[in-house]
Structure 1
């Protein structure tokens, strides 16, 4: 019986150690580079102003907080087996997910009668990071993800 208990404790410790290693790796990615991609030029609405970090828009009113979370399953690299091109890298995938999250913030602004989203921050698992130059992309073993939180406002002008 003692051996069974000892084995259970060792197995439990190994599983706990493995789950600690499976935690997300948080990557700081450049906002400007993501917004300069061809996908961003197609999908991001230039009429809905975006301000990242703790930036506010003078004269803005009727602010309403909104959070969006976007995840993408990491593509399986079977390019060696099929002879095809390798899947996109983390930077490209993170930029794609970021653009989807920005697009959702803008859609919410339009739906709520706003014309800007300000105070946009990364908010992965409720851990907020404010920057006007980078966003956080979470890299897990099976997925990549971006979570943004912003304030939808109506700016006069």
Structure 2
């Protein structure tokens, strides 16, 4: 095979590979707003403490790290055709997905005998982001996703 043809094939393969992977749009969303939602009030257990960012508890014992990834399929907008309500927006879908991920971390804490999850960070595609005020929500073409990583601990209080 001629060198220029080999180069053309390799360049085409590289370009096709990068084009096939549509990048997620990463949205920073407020933690407080998501945890204040009606869904969070019904799903998040107030007896399991949550500390976001690099926040830890001084009297914490143990410390097992867990990761959870939640995705919600983006609804198709056919509201104009059917006369129904439009689907929820990105912010609402992000909050719902975030609450589900938090709930899963809390369930893991209960299963492991912990009463707190500390050091909670966003961890979308293994890219960690630590914040005590925002979380990362990934907006893809067909889904909304949230990945959280936290440390389950037991405290005396």
Map of 1:53-72 to 2, 5 A cutoff? 53-72=53-72
Structure 1 position 15, deviation (Å): 3.2
In 2: Cα distance, 1:127 partner to 1:84 partner: 38
User: CA offsets per residue over residues 76-128 of structure 1, 9 Å max, x none?
Assistant: 00111111111000000000000000000000000000000000000001100
Aligned to 2:51: 51
> What is the aligned residue count?
154
SS of aligned partner of 1:67: strand
TM-score by length of 2: 0.90
In 2: Cα distance, 1:97 partner to 1:129 partner: 17
- RMSD, matched Cα: 2.0
In 1: Cα distance, 2:50 partner to 2:13 partner: 47
4+ aligned runs moved over 6 Å, structure 1: 5-11
For structure 1, the residue ranges without an aligned partner over 5 or more in a row are none
In 2: Cα distance, 1:128 partner to 1:139 partner: 17
TM-score by length of 1: 0.90
Aligned to 1:26: 26
